[in-house]
Structure 1
Protein backbone atom coordinates (compact mmCIF):
# COMPACT_ATOMS: atom_id res chain seq x y z
CA UNK A 1 0.00 0.00 0.00
CA UNK A 2 1.43 3.37 -0.99
CA UNK A 3 1.13 5.92 1.80
CA UNK A 4 -0.16 8.46 -0.71
CA UNK A 5 -3.16 6.17 -1.32
CA UNK A 6 -4.20 6.28 2.34
CA UNK A 7 -6.49 9.34 2.27
CA UNK A 8 -8.28 7.92 -0.79
CA UNK A 9 -8.79 4.59 1.01
CA UNK A 10 -10.15 6.40 4.04
CA UNK A 11 -12.61 8.47 2.01
CA UNK A 12 -13.68 5.32 0.11
CA UNK A 13 -14.43 3.63 3.43
CA UNK A 14 -16.50 6.63 4.52
CA UNK A 15 -18.46 6.57 1.25
CA UNK A 16 -19.15 2.84 1.52
CA UNK A 17 -20.56 3.38 5.02
CA UNK A 18 -22.80 6.20 3.79
CA UNK A 19 -21.06 9.04 5.60
CA UNK A 20 -18.96 12.07 4.82
CA UNK A 21 -15.91 12.01 7.04
CA UNK A 22 -12.74 13.87 7.98
CA UNK A 23 -9.71 12.38 9.70
CA UNK A 24 -6.31 13.28 11.03
CA UNK A 25 -3.85 10.76 12.47
CA UNK A 26 -0.61 11.58 14.24
CA UNK A 27 2.33 9.45 15.34
CA UNK A 28 2.72 11.01 18.77
CA UNK A 29 6.46 10.40 18.92
CA UNK A 30 7.72 10.87 15.35
CA UNK A 31 5.23 13.54 14.25
CA UNK A 32 4.30 11.65 11.07
CA UNK A 33 0.73 12.43 9.96
CA UNK A 34 -2.15 11.24 7.79
CA UNK A 35 -4.41 14.00 6.47
CA UNK A 36 -7.86 13.13 5.15
CA UNK A 37 -9.62 16.45 5.67
CA UNK A 38 -7.64 17.36 8.79
CA UNK A 39 -8.59 21.04 8.82
CA UNK A 40 -12.31 20.68 8.22
CA UNK A 41 -14.28 22.59 10.91
CA UNK A 42 -16.49 20.12 12.73
CA UNK A 43 -19.09 20.12 15.49
CA UNK A 44 -17.47 18.37 18.42
CA UNK A 45 -20.61 17.34 20.39
CA UNK A 46 -19.40 15.32 23.40
CA UNK A 47 -15.83 15.19 22.10
CA UNK A 48 -15.57 18.67 23.65
CA UNK A 49 -15.69 17.00 27.06
CA UNK A 50 -12.03 16.17 26.48
CA UNK A 51 -11.27 19.90 26.29
CA UNK A 52 -13.15 20.43 29.55
CA UNK A 53 -11.25 17.59 31.24
CA UNK A 54 -7.92 19.13 30.21
CA UNK A 55 -9.03 22.54 31.52
CA UNK A 56 -10.14 20.95 34.81
CA UNK A 57 -6.75 19.35 35.33
CA UNK A 58 -4.90 22.48 34.27
CA UNK A 59 -6.72 24.44 36.99
CA UNK A 60 -6.01 21.70 39.51
CA UNK A 61 -2.32 21.70 38.60
CA UNK A 62 -2.23 25.49 39.12
CA UNK A 63 -3.93 25.20 42.52
CA UNK A 64 -7.14 26.79 41.28
CA UNK A 65 -9.25 23.91 42.52
CA UNK A 66 -8.99 20.61 44.37
CA UNK A 67 -10.13 17.55 42.42
CA UNK A 68 -11.38 16.05 45.69
CA UNK A 69 -13.73 19.02 46.20
CA UNK A 70 -17.29 17.80 46.74
CA UNK A 71 -20.17 19.04 44.62
CA UNK A 72 -23.91 18.58 45.07
CA UNK A 73 -26.15 17.40 42.26
CA UNK A 74 -29.84 17.61 43.19
CA UNK A 75 -32.35 16.02 40.80
CA UNK A 76 -33.84 19.35 39.77
CA UNK A 77 -32.07 21.21 37.02
CA UNK A 78 -29.81 18.43 35.81
CA UNK A 79 -28.81 18.50 32.16
CA UNK A 80 -30.68 15.77 30.33
CA UNK A 81 -29.08 12.60 29.04
CA UNK A 82 -29.34 8.80 29.02
CA UNK A 83 -26.35 8.01 31.26
CA UNK A 84 -24.78 8.75 34.63
CA UNK A 85 -26.10 11.58 36.80
CA UNK A 86 -28.35 12.69 33.97
CA UNK A 87 -30.34 9.45 34.31
CA UNK A 88 -30.36 9.27 38.12
CA UNK A 89 -33.37 10.22 40.23
CA UNK A 90 -31.94 11.00 43.67
CA UNK A 91 -29.58 13.64 45.08
CA UNK A 92 -25.90 12.89 44.55
CA UNK A 93 -22.75 14.23 46.20
CA UNK A 94 -19.39 13.49 44.58
CA UNK A 95 -15.93 14.87 43.90
CA UNK A 96 -14.95 16.92 40.87
CA UNK A 97 -12.64 14.05 39.95
CA UNK A 98 -15.47 11.52 39.93
CA UNK A 99 -17.71 13.85 37.94
CA UNK A 100 -14.90 13.97 35.37
CA UNK A 101 -14.85 10.18 35.27
CA UNK A 102 -18.60 9.99 34.59
CA UNK A 103 -18.33 12.73 31.96
CA UNK A 104 -15.74 10.75 30.02
CA UNK A 105 -16.55 7.09 30.69
CA UNK A 106 -20.28 7.26 29.93
CA UNK A 107 -20.49 10.77 28.40
CA UNK A 108 -22.61 12.05 31.29
CA UNK A 109 -24.02 15.45 30.28
CA UNK A 110 -25.11 16.40 33.79
CA UNK A 111 -21.63 15.71 35.16
CA UNK A 112 -20.10 17.80 32.37
CA UNK A 113 -22.28 20.78 33.16
CA UNK A 114 -21.55 20.49 36.88
CA UNK A 115 -17.89 20.79 36.00
CA UNK A 116 -18.53 23.68 33.62
CA UNK A 117 -20.23 25.59 36.43
CA UNK A 118 -17.03 25.19 38.44
CA UNK A 119 -14.50 25.66 35.60
CA UNK A 120 -16.29 27.96 33.12
CA UNK A 121 -16.28 28.08 29.34
CA UNK A 122 -13.63 30.81 29.36
CA UNK A 123 -11.18 28.51 31.15
CA UNK A 124 -11.81 25.77 28.60
CA UNK A 125 -11.09 28.16 25.74
CA UNK A 126 -8.02 29.53 27.54
CA UNK A 127 -6.62 26.01 27.93
CA UNK A 128 -7.06 25.31 24.22
CA UNK A 129 -5.54 28.65 23.21
CA UNK A 130 -2.53 28.01 25.44
CA UNK A 131 -1.90 24.80 23.50
CA UNK A 132 -2.20 26.58 20.17
CA UNK A 133 -5.54 25.01 19.22
CA UNK A 134 -6.87 28.15 17.58
CA UNK A 135 -9.73 26.40 15.74
CA UNK A 136 -11.15 24.77 18.86
CA UNK A 137 -13.80 26.80 20.69
CA UNK A 138 -16.47 26.15 23.32
CA UNK A 139 -19.62 28.20 22.73
CA UNK A 140 -22.23 26.42 24.86
CA UNK A 141 -22.63 24.32 27.96
CA UNK A 142 -24.17 20.98 27.11
CA UNK A 143 -27.51 22.07 28.51
CA UNK A 144 -27.42 25.15 26.29
CA UNK A 145 -26.48 23.04 23.27
CA UNK A 146 -29.49 20.78 23.78
CA UNK A 147 -31.70 23.83 24.32
CA UNK A 148 -30.77 25.06 20.83
CA UNK A 149 -31.81 21.69 19.43
CA UNK A 150 -35.19 21.89 21.17
CA UNK A 151 -35.73 25.43 19.94
CA UNK A 152 -34.67 24.66 16.38
CA UNK A 153 -36.70 21.44 16.20
CA UNK A 154 -39.86 23.42 16.95
CA UNK A 155 -43.21 22.06 18.11
CA UNK A 156 -42.52 18.62 16.63
CA UNK A 157 -39.99 17.96 19.38
CA UNK A 158 -37.72 14.93 19.15
CA UNK A 159 -39.89 13.37 16.44
CA UNK A 160 -39.01 16.26 14.15
CA UNK A 161 -35.35 15.24 14.21
CA UNK A 162 -36.09 12.52 11.65
CA UNK A 163 -37.04 15.25 9.15
CA UNK A 164 -34.05 16.25 6.97
CA UNK A 165 -35.47 19.77 6.60
CA UNK A 166 -35.43 20.20 10.38
CA UNK A 167 -31.89 18.82 10.57
CA UNK A 168 -30.65 21.54 8.22
CA UNK A 169 -31.71 24.31 10.62
CA UNK A 170 -30.08 22.92 13.78
CA UNK A 171 -27.47 25.33 15.10
CA UNK A 172 -25.90 22.38 16.94
CA UNK A 173 -24.85 20.95 13.56
CA UNK A 174 -23.29 24.18 12.27
CA UNK A 175 -19.62 24.50 13.27
CA UNK A 176 -19.87 28.28 13.00
CA UNK A 177 -22.51 28.39 15.75
CA UNK A 178 -21.66 25.64 18.22
CA UNK A 179 -18.79 23.90 20.01
CA UNK A 180 -16.23 23.14 17.34
CA UNK A 181 -12.76 21.95 16.42
CA UNK A 182 -10.89 20.22 13.60
CA UNK A 183 -9.41 16.73 13.36
CA UNK A 184 -5.89 18.20 13.41
CA UNK A 185 -6.55 20.24 16.55
CA UNK A 186 -7.88 17.19 18.34
CA UNK A 187 -4.93 14.96 17.52
CA UNK A 188 -2.59 17.72 18.63
CA UNK A 189 -4.50 17.94 21.90
CA UNK A 190 -4.22 14.18 22.40
CA UNK A 191 -0.53 14.31 21.53
CA UNK A 192 -0.01 17.02 24.14
CA UNK A 193 -1.82 14.91 26.75
CA UNK A 194 0.24 11.80 25.95
CA UNK A 195 3.53 13.75 25.98
CA UNK A 196 2.65 15.51 29.27
CA UNK A 197 2.63 18.89 27.56
CA UNK A 198 -1.02 19.70 28.31
CA UNK A 199 -0.60 19.32 32.08
CA UNK A 200 1.92 18.11 34.61
CA UNK A 201 2.83 14.40 34.35
CA UNK A 202 0.60 13.61 37.33
CA UNK A 203 -2.42 15.26 35.74
CA UNK A 204 -1.58 13.95 32.28
CA UNK A 205 -1.60 10.41 33.66
CA UNK A 206 -4.98 11.05 35.29
CA UNK A 207 -6.45 12.28 31.97
CA UNK A 208 -5.07 9.26 30.09
CA UNK A 209 -6.48 6.91 32.70
CA UNK A 210 -9.99 8.32 32.40
CA UNK A 211 -9.89 8.27 28.59
CA UNK A 212 -8.99 4.60 28.82
CA UNK A 213 -12.15 3.91 30.85
CA UNK A 214 -14.65 4.93 28.15
CA UNK A 215 -17.23 2.14 27.86
CA UNK A 216 -18.15 2.45 24.18
CA UNK A 217 -16.35 -0.14 21.96
CA UNK A 218 -18.40 0.32 18.78
CA UNK A 219 -16.49 3.15 17.07
CA UNK A 220 -12.71 3.62 17.16
CA UNK A 221 -11.94 0.60 19.33
CA UNK A 222 -13.73 -1.68 16.85
CA UNK A 223 -10.86 -1.10 14.41
CA UNK A 224 -8.28 -2.52 16.84
CA UNK A 225 -9.65 -5.90 18.03
CA UNK A 226 -6.43 -7.02 19.71
CA UNK A 227 -5.84 -7.74 23.38
CA UNK A 228 -2.44 -6.04 23.28
CA UNK A 229 -3.54 -2.79 21.60
CA UNK A 230 -5.08 -0.29 24.01
CA UNK A 231 -7.50 2.34 22.70
CA UNK A 232 -8.42 5.35 24.85
CA UNK A 233 -10.87 7.90 23.52
CA UNK A 234 -13.98 10.05 23.62
CA UNK A 235 -17.03 9.78 21.40
CA UNK A 236 -19.45 12.50 20.37
CA UNK A 237 -22.93 12.16 18.89
CA UNK A 238 -25.74 14.38 17.67
CA UNK A 239 -28.43 13.79 15.02
CA UNK A 240 -26.62 12.67 11.82
CA UNK A 241 -23.23 13.20 13.50
CA UNK A 242 -20.84 10.58 14.90
CA UNK A 243 -17.33 11.36 16.11
CA UNK A 244 -14.49 9.89 18.09
CA UNK A 245 -11.01 11.03 19.01
CA UNK A 246 -8.55 8.70 20.68
CA UNK A 247 -5.14 7.13 20.97
CA UNK A 248 -4.14 3.59 19.97
CA UNK A 249 -1.14 2.28 21.92
CA UNK A 250 0.76 -0.75 20.57
CA UNK A 251 2.86 -3.20 22.60
CA UNK A 252 6.03 -2.07 20.78
CA UNK A 253 5.56 1.44 22.19
CA UNK A 254 3.89 3.01 19.15
CA UNK A 255 1.34 5.70 20.08
CA UNK A 256 -1.06 7.10 17.49
CA UNK A 257 -3.63 9.87 17.98
CA UNK A 258 -6.61 9.74 15.61
CA UNK A 259 -9.57 12.10 15.25
CA UNK A 260 -12.56 11.11 13.11
CA UNK A 261 -15.61 13.32 12.52
CA UNK A 262 -18.52 12.12 10.36
CA UNK A 263 -21.90 13.28 9.06
CA UNK A 264 -24.60 11.34 7.24
CA UNK A 265 -27.79 12.31 5.44
CA UNK A 266 -29.56 9.41 7.16
CA UNK A 267 -31.44 10.65 10.23
CA UNK A 268 -31.73 7.22 11.89
CA UNK A 269 -30.38 7.10 15.43
CA UNK A 270 -28.89 3.63 14.93
CA UNK A 271 -26.50 3.17 12.01
CA UNK A 272 -23.97 0.42 12.82
CA UNK A 273 -22.02 0.94 9.61
CA UNK A 274 -21.55 4.64 10.37
CA UNK A 275 -20.23 3.78 13.83
CA UNK A 276 -17.93 1.01 12.62
CA UNK A 277 -16.32 3.04 9.84
CA UNK A 278 -14.74 5.26 12.49
CA UNK A 279 -12.73 2.24 13.60
CA UNK A 280 -12.07 1.17 10.02
CA UNK A 281 -10.75 4.58 9.02
CA UNK A 282 -8.64 4.89 12.17
CA UNK A 283 -7.08 1.49 11.52
CA UNK A 284 -6.25 2.36 7.89
CA UNK A 285 -4.51 5.52 9.09
CA UNK A 286 -2.58 3.85 11.91
CA UNK A 287 -1.48 0.97 9.65
CA UNK A 288 -0.13 3.56 7.20
CA UNK A 289 1.77 5.37 9.94
CA UNK A 290 3.25 2.11 11.21
CA UNK A 291 4.31 1.19 7.68
CA UNK A 292 6.52 4.30 7.61
CA UNK A 293 8.62 3.12 10.54
Structure 2
Protein backbone atom coordinates (compact mmCIF):
# COMPACT_ATOMS: atom_id res chain seq x y z
CA UNK A 1 0.00 0.00 0.00
CA UNK A 2 1.81 3.09 -1.26
CA UNK A 3 2.70 6.08 0.88
CA UNK A 4 1.12 9.50 0.33
CA UNK A 5 2.23 11.92 -2.35
CA UNK A 6 3.10 14.64 0.15
CA UNK A 7 5.85 12.54 1.72
CA UNK A 8 7.21 11.60 -1.69
CA UNK A 9 7.34 15.23 -2.80
CA UNK A 10 9.19 16.31 0.35
CA UNK A 11 11.67 13.46 -0.01
CA UNK A 12 12.37 14.42 -3.63
CA UNK A 13 13.08 17.97 -2.43
CA UNK A 14 15.60 16.63 0.08
CA UNK A 15 17.42 14.74 -2.65
CA UNK A 16 17.40 17.74 -4.99
CA UNK A 17 18.74 20.07 -2.29
CA UNK A 18 21.62 17.67 -1.64
CA UNK A 19 22.49 17.49 -5.34
CA UNK A 20 21.65 13.81 -5.72
CA UNK A 21 19.24 11.58 -7.54
CA UNK A 22 17.56 9.36 -4.97
CA UNK A 23 15.57 6.16 -4.83
CA UNK A 24 13.79 5.12 -1.63
CA UNK A 25 11.51 2.52 -0.19
CA UNK A 26 10.28 2.37 3.39
CA UNK A 27 7.83 -0.18 4.72
CA UNK A 28 6.38 -1.41 7.96
CA UNK A 29 8.06 -4.67 8.91
CA UNK A 30 4.83 -5.84 10.52
CA UNK A 31 2.29 -4.08 8.30
CA UNK A 32 1.38 -3.20 4.74
CA UNK A 33 1.95 0.54 4.45
CA UNK A 34 4.92 1.88 2.55
CA UNK A 35 6.48 5.00 1.05
CA UNK A 36 8.05 4.67 -2.38
CA UNK A 37 10.17 7.05 -4.42
CA UNK A 38 11.07 5.29 -7.68
CA UNK A 39 11.37 2.18 -5.53
CA UNK A 40 11.33 -0.30 -8.41
CA UNK A 41 14.18 1.30 -10.33
CA UNK A 42 17.27 -0.94 -10.64
CA UNK A 43 20.21 0.49 -8.68
CA UNK A 44 23.86 -0.45 -8.22
CA UNK A 45 24.03 -1.97 -4.76
CA UNK A 46 27.77 -1.63 -4.01
CA UNK A 47 28.42 -2.94 -0.48
CA UNK A 48 24.71 -3.09 0.35
CA UNK A 49 24.87 -6.43 -1.46
CA UNK A 50 26.77 -7.78 1.53
CA UNK A 51 23.32 -8.14 3.11
CA UNK A 52 22.52 -10.79 0.50
CA UNK A 53 25.86 -12.48 1.19
CA UNK A 54 25.14 -12.47 4.93
CA UNK A 55 21.75 -14.12 4.55
CA UNK A 56 23.28 -16.71 2.22
CA UNK A 57 25.94 -17.60 4.77
CA UNK A 58 23.33 -18.04 7.48
CA UNK A 59 21.05 -20.17 5.32
CA UNK A 60 23.95 -22.46 4.38
CA UNK A 61 24.73 -22.77 8.07
CA UNK A 62 21.09 -23.67 8.74
CA UNK A 63 21.37 -26.42 6.12
CA UNK A 64 24.60 -27.77 7.59
CA UNK A 65 26.54 -26.91 4.45
CA UNK A 66 28.77 -24.40 6.24
CA UNK A 67 30.12 -24.20 9.77
CA UNK A 68 30.24 -20.55 10.91
CA UNK A 69 32.96 -21.48 13.40
CA UNK A 70 35.25 -22.87 10.70
CA UNK A 71 38.68 -21.25 10.99
CA UNK A 72 40.25 -19.90 7.81
CA UNK A 73 43.64 -18.42 7.06
CA UNK A 74 43.62 -15.04 5.38
CA UNK A 75 47.13 -14.34 4.07
CA UNK A 76 48.40 -10.79 3.90
CA UNK A 77 49.35 -11.04 0.24
CA UNK A 78 46.61 -10.61 -2.31
CA UNK A 79 43.91 -9.28 0.01
CA UNK A 80 41.11 -7.29 -1.58
CA UNK A 81 41.83 -3.57 -1.15
CA UNK A 82 39.62 -1.45 1.04
CA UNK A 83 39.72 1.18 3.76
CA UNK A 84 38.78 -0.90 6.81
CA UNK A 85 39.36 -4.19 8.59
CA UNK A 86 41.53 -6.91 7.11
CA UNK A 87 41.92 -4.87 3.94
CA UNK A 88 44.31 -2.50 5.71
CA UNK A 89 46.05 -4.99 8.02
CA UNK A 90 49.59 -6.10 7.23
CA UNK A 91 49.91 -9.58 8.70
CA UNK A 92 48.27 -12.97 8.11
CA UNK A 93 45.08 -13.53 10.07
CA UNK A 94 43.27 -16.66 11.19
CA UNK A 95 39.62 -16.29 12.15
CA UNK A 96 36.21 -17.92 11.87
CA UNK A 97 33.74 -17.46 9.03
CA UNK A 98 31.26 -15.84 11.41
CA UNK A 99 33.85 -13.30 12.53
CA UNK A 100 34.66 -12.53 8.90
CA UNK A 101 30.95 -11.91 8.38
CA UNK A 102 30.89 -9.60 11.38
CA UNK A 103 33.69 -7.52 9.85
CA UNK A 104 31.96 -7.47 6.46
CA UNK A 105 28.80 -6.04 8.03
CA UNK A 106 30.07 -3.75 10.78
CA UNK A 107 32.94 -2.03 8.98
CA UNK A 108 32.19 -3.16 5.39
CA UNK A 109 35.49 -5.04 5.23
CA UNK A 110 36.09 -5.90 1.56
CA UNK A 111 38.78 -8.49 2.29
CA UNK A 112 36.55 -10.35 4.75
CA UNK A 113 33.61 -10.25 2.36
CA UNK A 114 35.81 -11.53 -0.49
CA UNK A 115 36.74 -14.62 1.52
CA UNK A 116 33.05 -15.31 2.15
CA UNK A 117 32.04 -14.72 -1.48
CA UNK A 118 34.72 -17.18 -2.57
CA UNK A 119 33.54 -19.66 0.06
CA UNK A 120 29.85 -19.63 -0.97
CA UNK A 121 29.97 -18.46 -4.61
CA UNK A 122 28.06 -15.76 -6.46
CA UNK A 123 25.50 -18.22 -7.80
CA UNK A 124 24.63 -19.38 -4.28
CA UNK A 125 24.00 -15.77 -3.30
CA UNK A 126 21.73 -15.41 -6.33
CA UNK A 127 19.89 -18.63 -5.48
CA UNK A 128 19.23 -17.20 -2.03
CA UNK A 129 17.74 -13.96 -3.32
CA UNK A 130 15.65 -15.76 -5.95
CA UNK A 131 14.26 -18.09 -3.29
CA UNK A 132 13.19 -15.01 -1.32
CA UNK A 133 11.30 -13.62 -4.31
CA UNK A 134 13.93 -11.02 -5.19
CA UNK A 135 13.81 -11.48 -8.95
CA UNK A 136 15.59 -8.22 -9.78
CA UNK A 137 18.43 -8.65 -7.31
CA UNK A 138 21.58 -10.09 -8.88
CA UNK A 139 25.12 -10.49 -7.55
CA UNK A 140 27.46 -9.94 -10.50
CA UNK A 141 30.71 -8.90 -8.83
CA UNK A 142 32.64 -9.74 -5.70
CA UNK A 143 34.43 -6.91 -3.83
CA UNK A 144 37.66 -7.79 -5.65
CA UNK A 145 35.87 -7.60 -9.02
CA UNK A 146 34.55 -4.14 -8.14
CA UNK A 147 37.98 -2.81 -7.19
CA UNK A 148 39.55 -4.18 -10.37
CA UNK A 149 36.82 -2.76 -12.62
CA UNK A 150 37.05 0.64 -10.96
CA UNK A 151 40.76 0.76 -11.71
CA UNK A 152 40.31 -0.52 -15.27
CA UNK A 153 37.67 2.15 -15.99
CA UNK A 154 39.70 4.97 -14.44
CA UNK A 155 37.17 5.57 -11.68
CA UNK A 156 39.81 5.29 -8.99
CA UNK A 157 41.08 8.72 -10.02
CA UNK A 158 38.42 11.20 -8.90
CA UNK A 159 40.44 14.08 -10.33
CA UNK A 160 40.16 12.48 -13.75
CA UNK A 161 36.43 11.97 -13.34
CA UNK A 162 35.96 15.56 -12.21
CA UNK A 163 37.80 16.85 -15.25
CA UNK A 164 35.79 14.64 -17.61
CA UNK A 165 32.30 13.97 -16.19
CA UNK A 166 31.42 12.13 -19.39
CA UNK A 167 33.84 9.42 -18.33
CA UNK A 168 31.32 8.28 -15.72
CA UNK A 169 29.20 6.75 -18.47
CA UNK A 170 31.91 4.19 -19.09
CA UNK A 171 32.31 3.10 -15.48
CA UNK A 172 30.79 -0.36 -15.36
CA UNK A 173 30.27 -0.52 -11.60
CA UNK A 174 28.01 2.54 -11.85
CA UNK A 175 25.70 0.89 -14.41
CA UNK A 176 22.99 -1.33 -12.89
CA UNK A 177 22.87 -3.35 -16.10
CA UNK A 178 26.53 -4.35 -15.69
CA UNK A 179 27.10 -4.77 -11.97
CA UNK A 180 25.49 -6.13 -8.81
CA UNK A 181 22.04 -4.66 -8.54
CA UNK A 182 18.69 -4.63 -6.83
CA UNK A 183 15.80 -2.23 -6.20
CA UNK A 184 14.98 -0.33 -3.01
CA UNK A 185 11.75 -2.34 -2.67
CA UNK A 186 13.52 -5.69 -2.92
CA UNK A 187 16.13 -4.67 -0.35
CA UNK A 188 13.45 -3.71 2.16
CA UNK A 189 11.71 -7.01 1.48
CA UNK A 190 14.94 -8.79 2.44
CA UNK A 191 15.32 -6.75 5.61
CA UNK A 192 11.68 -7.23 6.61
CA UNK A 193 12.05 -10.98 6.13
CA UNK A 194 15.21 -10.93 8.24
CA UNK A 195 13.48 -9.03 11.05
CA UNK A 196 10.51 -11.43 10.93
CA UNK A 197 12.82 -14.50 11.13
CA UNK A 198 11.79 -15.57 7.63
CA UNK A 199 15.08 -15.15 5.76
CA UNK A 200 16.89 -17.77 7.86
CA UNK A 201 16.43 -19.47 11.23
CA UNK A 202 15.46 -17.26 14.16
CA UNK A 203 18.78 -17.64 15.95
CA UNK A 204 20.86 -16.82 12.89
CA UNK A 205 18.55 -13.94 11.97
CA UNK A 206 19.11 -12.51 15.44
CA UNK A 207 22.87 -12.76 14.92
CA UNK A 208 22.59 -10.69 11.75
CA UNK A 209 20.31 -8.12 13.38
CA UNK A 210 22.82 -7.68 16.20
CA UNK A 211 25.71 -7.34 13.76
CA UNK A 212 23.91 -4.73 11.65
CA UNK A 213 23.13 -2.74 14.79
CA UNK A 214 26.89 -2.57 15.46
CA UNK A 215 27.63 -0.97 12.09
CA UNK A 216 30.04 1.90 12.75
CA UNK A 217 28.86 4.55 10.29
CA UNK A 218 26.44 7.04 11.91
CA UNK A 219 26.41 9.65 9.13
CA UNK A 220 23.75 8.22 6.80
CA UNK A 221 20.64 6.35 7.93
CA UNK A 222 21.27 6.74 11.66
CA UNK A 223 21.75 10.51 11.33
CA UNK A 224 18.01 10.85 10.76
CA UNK A 225 17.16 9.20 14.09
CA UNK A 226 19.36 10.78 16.80
CA UNK A 227 17.20 9.49 19.65
CA UNK A 228 18.45 7.33 22.51
CA UNK A 229 15.37 5.10 22.41
CA UNK A 230 15.37 4.46 18.64
CA UNK A 231 17.56 1.65 17.31
CA UNK A 232 18.99 1.74 13.79
CA UNK A 233 20.65 -1.26 12.17
CA UNK A 234 21.91 -1.04 8.61
CA UNK A 235 24.45 -1.62 5.87
CA UNK A 236 26.05 1.12 3.80
CA UNK A 237 27.30 1.04 0.23
CA UNK A 238 29.75 3.46 -1.39
CA UNK A 239 31.28 3.84 -4.84
CA UNK A 240 32.29 6.96 -6.80
CA UNK A 241 29.16 9.20 -6.85
CA UNK A 242 27.12 6.52 -5.03
CA UNK A 243 26.06 6.64 -1.39
CA UNK A 244 23.54 4.14 -0.04
CA UNK A 245 22.19 2.58 3.10
CA UNK A 246 19.55 -0.04 3.81
CA UNK A 247 18.45 -0.91 7.31
CA UNK A 248 15.72 -1.18 9.91
CA UNK A 249 14.57 1.49 12.35
CA UNK A 250 13.01 0.22 15.59
CA UNK A 251 10.99 2.35 18.03
CA UNK A 252 10.42 1.51 21.71
CA UNK A 253 6.67 1.13 21.10
CA UNK A 254 7.33 -1.83 18.81
CA UNK A 255 7.21 -0.03 15.48
CA UNK A 256 9.72 -1.53 13.00
CA UNK A 257 10.43 -0.01 9.59
CA UNK A 258 12.68 -1.30 6.82
CA UNK A 259 14.22 1.53 4.79
CA UNK A 260 16.46 1.49 1.72
CA UNK A 261 17.88 4.72 0.33
CA UNK A 262 20.12 4.76 -2.75
CA UNK A 263 21.64 7.97 -4.11
CA UNK A 264 23.81 9.12 -6.97
CA UNK A 265 25.54 12.49 -6.83
CA UNK A 266 26.22 14.79 -9.75
CA UNK A 267 29.63 15.59 -8.22
CA UNK A 268 32.49 13.11 -8.04
CA UNK A 269 34.00 14.42 -4.78
CA UNK A 270 34.90 11.72 -2.27
CA UNK A 271 33.45 13.68 0.66
CA UNK A 272 29.83 14.76 0.25
CA UNK A 273 28.28 15.30 3.68
CA UNK A 274 25.10 16.78 2.22
CA UNK A 275 24.49 13.59 0.25
CA UNK A 276 25.17 11.45 3.32
CA UNK A 277 22.82 13.53 5.47
CA UNK A 278 20.08 13.38 2.83
CA UNK A 279 19.86 9.63 3.36
CA UNK A 280 19.00 10.05 7.03
CA UNK A 281 16.64 12.97 6.42
CA UNK A 282 14.73 11.18 3.66
CA UNK A 283 14.50 8.01 5.76
CA UNK A 284 13.15 9.93 8.74
CA UNK A 285 10.50 11.62 6.57
CA UNK A 286 9.40 8.27 5.20
CA UNK A 287 9.23 6.61 8.62
CA UNK A 288 7.38 9.54 10.16
CA UNK A 289 4.85 9.32 7.34
CA UNK A 290 4.33 5.64 8.09
CA UNK A 291 3.93 6.29 11.80
CA UNK A 292 1.34 9.00 11.19
CA UNK A 293 -0.68 6.51 9.18
CA UNK A 294 -0.77 4.00 12.04
CA UNK A 295 -4.13 3.55 13.74
CA UNK A 296 -4.81 6.37 16.26
CA UNK A 297 -3.58 5.43 19.69
CA UNK A 298 -1.74 2.33 18.52
CA UNK A 299 1.67 3.99 18.59
CA UNK A 300 3.04 7.28 19.78
CA UNK A 301 3.97 9.83 17.15
CA UNK A 302 7.52 9.99 15.90
CA UNK A 303 9.85 12.38 17.68
CA UNK A 304 9.83 15.68 15.72
The match for 2:160 is 160
1:261-280 Cα offsets, whole Å, 9 max, x none, are 00011010001000000000
The match for 2:109 is 108
- Give the alignment of 1:1-293 within 5 angstroms: 3-153=4-154, 157=157, 159-162=159-162, 163-293=164-294
Counterparts of 1:128 and 1:22, CA distance in 2? 20
Contact 2:158/2:270 (CA < 8 Å) preserved in 1? no
SS at match of 2:233: strand
Cα RMSD after superposing both structures: 1.2
Residue 30 of structure 1, CA deviation: 1.0
Residue 113 of structure 1, CA deviation: 0.3
Contact 1:161/1:239 (CA < 8 Å) preserved in 2? no
Counterparts of 2:89 and 2:161, CA distance in 1? 25
Counterparts of 1:265 and 1:182, CA distance in 2? 20
Counterparts of 1:218 and 1:199, CA distance in 2? 29
Please, which runs of 5 or more residues in structure 2 have no aligned partner?
A: 295-304
Q: TM-score when scaled to structure 2? A: 0.94
Q: TM-score when scaled to structure 1? A: 0.97
Residue 161 of structure 1, CA deviation: 3.6
Counterparts of 1:109 and 1:160, CA distance in 2? 24
Aligned length: 291
Residue 159 of structure 1, CA deviation: 4.1
Please, which runs of 5 or more residues in structure 1 have no aligned partner?
A: none
